[in-house]
Every structure is written in structure tokens, then in C-alpha cells.
Structure 1
Amino acid sequence: KDDVDADSVYSLFMEQDFRYHFQHPYFRLFTAYFVTFCNFLIYAEDPVAHSRSECTIPVIGNDFSFVIMKYLPNAWSLLKVIMWLTGIVVGIIIGKVVFHSYLFNRIFRLKMFHDDRGSWMTSFMSTVLLLFIFSYLYNVLLMIGGDYTRPYHISSYMGVSNSIFMKAAATGTWCGDFFTAWMDWDFPHFVGAIDVKLPGVNQAHVYFKIPKLLKTLEYWHIHISGKWFNYGILFIVILLDLNMWKNQIFYTPYQYGQYVDDFGRIYTVMDQYSLDHANSSTLTFEYRNVTINPETNERYILGDTMMNARY
């Protein structure tokens, strides 16, 4: 039987003030769907979402490149796997013991992290940080290989284009927004079960059976509360939104393989050869509007895509 969320019992005695109406499911549904609409609009208008240049994201890009990309075809690959697996294990341990148990529980005494609440989110964030640190340690070891291993150094470049990453990020953001919109708010008392059933399964708990030689217990009990399930998704969505916000603030066309004409309209370079050999003089409207592409015998600009956005 599901436990009742005791922290929300206070809502039984709430006055119908601003906070009461702010928690109304109609307002929450409107906010969630309005944010979803705004994300669709931003994705359609954001020139970065159409860029064919390589995507670069601080920290997250390093982690992605460390775990997924840039594997050397020899024993270096084994070393890399061992290092990122070690980074994950160390990150989980530090997140649980140092940040969650000691810092958030004993030092700051935050109720949201009481007992084991929020331990998965804390471990996730510390794992991201530790993978970032271990990626630089791996780069130090790669210096032994000299010029041979130089192309495999880990950086914030993810090895995929901005357009591909933005499609994945937008899909994740939309899914997170829809999850938020579809949550059951138990209006008007907001007293509901702590447990929520995991997506695609008919249970709120996951049991892992481990060998008895390693541990006397037969199962690990993983419990995900409704609030942490909801806000965990929102936290990831916020990270994706912050990345899009960063793109809007620090955007320059040349950095993303784009250029502007005299009216400020943005053009995206589509051919990979031009992107690989681009410089500040060739990636301009003046150059691509008059220079002939020897492969197509047409001006370069005819193969580029014009955006609706202006710079």
C-alpha cells in the first residue's frame, strides 16, 4: 500500500489565496503546455538547431566524449573504459556519502534530502563532475602517446553536429514537459501517495537480485518518491533549457558554421568541406555569394539554407 505524503497534509487547511490558485491543476496544465509550445517555437527559430558544425558543451560535452566517442583502436580503449567506469563508481560514492549524507543531511539539514531522499539525483550530479575530472586525467595519460594520441584527447566537442544534439535535446525537453503536464495533482487537497509507478511498468519499486557471495541481502531496494521523480525530470529539462539560453546569449554565426547577409538574415553552411576548411574570410556572405563551388558549378550560397531568424 502506498504511503501518504505527510508534508502535503497542510493543504487540507489552506485558504483559497494566491498559493491555492497557483497550485490549481488548470494553471499547472496551462504552464506546462505553454512551456512546451515555447520550446517548439524556440527550436524552430533557433539558428543553432540548424547548425552543421560540431556541438560543444562545457562539462557535459567532456563526459559524452569521454564515455561515447574517441576510442583508440588498441589498449588505450581498455584504459579509457576502466577510467570512466571508475569515475562513475567514485562519483556515486562521493555523491551519496559526501554530498548527500554529510553535506546536505548533517551540515545543512535539508529536509528534501532527509534519509535517502534525493540520493539518486545527488549521485547523478556528482558522477557528471567526476567524469569531467577523470576525462582530464585521461588526457594527461594520452600525452604519453605524443602526436599519435593527440586527436583522441577529450574536450567539450561531442563529435555530433549541433543540429543532431538539438533534436535530441528538444525531444527530451518536450518529453519532460509532457511528463509534468500529465502528473496527477490530487486537487483540491494535494494529498497523494509518495510512490509513483515507473514509466512502462506497473510498480513503484525496482529490485536487483545480486549474488549472495557479495552481500547477505538478496535485493537492493530502490525507492523513487513522486516529488523527486517529478522534479528530477524538471531538473534535467532545466539543464537543457540553460544550454539553449547559453546559445542565445553567446551566439555568433561564425562559431556555428553560419553567416549573415546585409539584412541580418542567417545562412547555414550545409556542405562539410566548407565547414572543415572555414575561416573568417570564406565564411561570409560576400564570399559565398560570388564564389563558385567546383563540385556543383554553382555559387556556394545556393547550397546553403537561409533561416527565418535574424542576427
Structure 2
Amino acid sequence: MSSPIVKRALISVSNKNGLAEFARELSAAGIEILSTGGTRKHLESAGIAVRDIAQYTGFPEMMDGRLKTLHPKVFGGILCRYDNPDDMSGLEDHGILTFELVVVNLYPFEETVAREGVAMAEAIEQIDIGGPSLVRAAAKNHAFTTIATSPNQYETILEQIHAAGATDLELRRRLAGEAFAHTARYDRAIADYFAGRQTEEGFPATVGLSFNRRAVLRYGENPHQSAAVYLDANVAVPSVVTAEQLNGKELSYNNLLDLDSVLAIVRHFNDPAVAVMKHNNPCGAAVADNLAEATRRAMAGDPQSAFGSILGMNRPVDAASAEVLAEPGLFVEAIIA
């Protein structure tokens, strides 16, 4: 079956960045928008026509918003299989509308529990119930339903709707994968929070780790190997992975290893420090009263091995240090500072 035309969108989000612009484009494309609570008020304040989900289901929001989208008239329209006659006749029999687009992101649980002194009662109220259910339902039915869980996805979805009135299966499958990753990380954060409050001697029984891919590399340690670099989703400390590359070619696996090593070395010092590394072998390290002198001393540790090396500095590169590195016979492949 061909991709269904997007006629209707259900929108219920916590992160409202870019939402009004996105919804305005959807509305301009003739797509009916249904929404809940704060999201509906946000869109209405931006002058966008929105239908209240409670008006559609005939069931009001209850319990301070704990109960608003958990209804067969919502989930039936998300989970229906357009090529299954029984599904579609069931919708008609019960007055259920189809939702070809679901836009949902979840309560900010991680941000809430990261704050100092947050009470458990407050944390519990940030455990989303309807949101993950909507996300998982739409992702499961990605053969027909498009799920958006991040503002970063809005532009691509709009491009396809503008071009064809629908999204293609390849995009829906990718968005479904991202949606399941979104809910998995969310549940992991909740599990970790509760585990951390029921530990013996401060150590939880299990530890969950989540990493986000930042780049696919040209190759691994050797040319015949594949490689990618990932960033710990829960670490905000500046690192090689988060550093801004100012110039030069794409970094390789070995470049990243060496850059990480020299950065770790120079971070130990308060005085100007420089470390030199090549293929994960130290070639020199020095501290001095100024960065230029530290650079000269570090490069002098093993000048032959330092040719084509990686440098780490615990200060911004200044003109005097650059002059040292510009001397004849020296070649540096990359610098992190």
C-alpha cells in the first residue's frame, strides 16, 4: 500500500521549541491538528486552529493531566492498519479518526531529578504515562503512522509532506527507531533514579549507559575496519567529542585516540602545559611559565617521533606557540587546546 496522505496530526509535547512554526506549516497544508492541555493553549496563542482532544474523545482531562490521551478513540486512530479492512471498518463503526502524524516528546524527568533537592513526589509527577504510550503506538505502526519525538525532525517531515502530502516508509522507519530509543532512554532514567534511592552503600544493583552517535569515521584503527564515535548522553564535561574543529580534514579513529590522551594529560596541570602523542605513544610533555616554552620543551622530548604528532595544550594557542610550531622541520597533525 502507498503511504497514507497526512490528514490529521496529534500533538502533545513538553519541549515546544519550533512547535508553533511546525504546526502552522501543517495547518497551511490542510492538516487538522488535535492537541491537549498546555500544548493546545500554546498553539492557540500562536493563532493556530486546534481541536481539543477531550472534545473529540468526549472524555475530559482528569487528575491534573494524568489522564488525557489514554482513550480508544486516540489509540485506534494511531494503530489502525490502512490495508486491513477489519481495522478500517472498526474505525468507522466507532467514529474513530485516523492520525497519520503523532508529535510527542516526554515530560522532562531527567532535567527534574538533576536539580538539587528535588523531592520524590515532584520527580514522580514528571513520569510520563500517556506520552510513551503514544510514541510506542505510533512507532509500532510506522508502516502507516509518522512519529516525531524531537524538534530536529520537523523540517524533514515538512519537506516530505510539502512534496507528496505524505511521508515515505524509509523516513517513518528511521523515526520509529529514534522514537524507541527516546522511550528507552526515558525509562532507563526513571529506573536509574529509583535504583539510586534503594542502594546498599551507594551502589545500585544495575547501571544503564546511554551513548549518542556523533560521527561515522572514515575507518577504524586500520583501513579495513569500520568505526564510529559516540558520546555519553549523561556527561556534560567538554571532551574531544564535543570539541569544535576549526580547520583541517576529518579526524580519524587514531587522531581521536591521541587527542583524548593528550587532553587527559594536560588537564592535570595548572601551569601552561603541552603533551605530544603519536599512535597513542607519548613523545613528550612539558610545563613552563608560558605556553610557547612548554611547546618547545615538549617537542624536544623526542623530536623524531613527534613528527606528524598530536598536541594537547591547556591554554588557547597563542601567537608565540604557533611560531614555535612553524619552525622548519616540525609537522603537527592536530592540536586540541
TM over 0.5: no
The structure with the largest alpha-carbon Rg is 2
Structure that is richer in strand per residue: 2
Structure that is richer in helix per residue: 1
Identify the structure with bigger relative contact order (alpha carbons < 8 Å, sequence gap 6+). 1
